[in-house]
Amino acid sequence: MKFGVVTFPGSNCDHDMIYTLETIMGHEIVHLWHKDGSIPKVDAIALPGGFTYGDYLRCGAIAKHSPIMAEVIKFANQNRPVFGICNGFQILCESGLLPGVLLQNTNQRFICSNQYIVADNPKTAFTAHAGSKPLNIPIAHSEGHYYAPDEMLEELEDNGQVLFRYCDKNGKITDEANPNGSVNHIAGVCNKNKNVYGMMPHPERAADHELGNTDGLFILESFIKWISN
């Protein structure tokens, strides 16, 4: 499978994503630059984490104007698979490809830790083969508080667009296990057509046996199995 991985000024997880997809999982990578005006033939596009353009204005607010994003939007509107992790999730929300917005963490601090999440809807690319047990996935963000207005939130829930929720190690969803104050404990969502995906936790940082945690592979392998069918 061939993945296009986008690098913006300020991306700092692009090589993490490339290493995981290419070296760990054995897939082909096409390097995409933020100024590119076209996308070569790829099977899926990944927007990695980082601090694009220094997170000025709002996270992802400047990146959405990069030339490559016009092509990513065209790609997604053709019902082709796109996913964003952390800052990539923020960019997808700012670009209108995903609903909602990421706000400052309720504790107003940068959080870098491992965090358990649990799949919500088992019928999406990220969750279909990820299992039902809690997954221990790293988070690293200051603006990870997912928010959507009540009407949008109700629609998300009704349509099964919630991918993961923050939980404790036993899978229990509690306020104490919600690290950033996200509404309804939401850690990731998809669009209505279920071809665009975003999540704040970093599955690519939990994919190497050398790190002692490969829970992230459940998510990435699920995505690959889904789009390969």
- 196 band by pLDDT with thresholds 50, 70 and 90: very high
Q: Which two tokens stand for residue 182?
A: 């996200």
Domain 2-228 has CATH 3.20.20.70: no
Domain range list for the chain: 2-228
| CA-based nearest residue to 54, from 62, 46, 45, 43 | 62
Q: For residue 117, give the nearest of 41, 53, 179, 66 by alpha carbon.
A: 179
pLDDT in tens, 12-51: 999 999 999 999 999 999 999 999 999 999 999 999 999 9
Whether 56 shows a pLDDT value over 90: the answer reads no
Residue tagged 């296009």 (tokens): 4
Count of positions (residues) in the chain: 229
Cα angle: 80, vertex 213, 136; to 5 degrees: 70
Pinpoint the alpha helices (H) of the chain.
14-18, 67-77, 87-94, 150-158, 215-228
Q: Encoding tokens for residue 75?
A: 């790609």
pLDDT for 229: 80
Active site residues: 86, 202, 204
Per residue in 40-52, pLDDT (tens digit) is 999 999 999 999 9
Residue 79 makes CB contacts below 8 A (sequence gap 6+) with 193, 195
Q: What is the pLDDT of residues 128-156, one digit of tens each?
A: 999 899 999 999 999 999 999 999 999 99
| pTM, to two decimals | 0.96
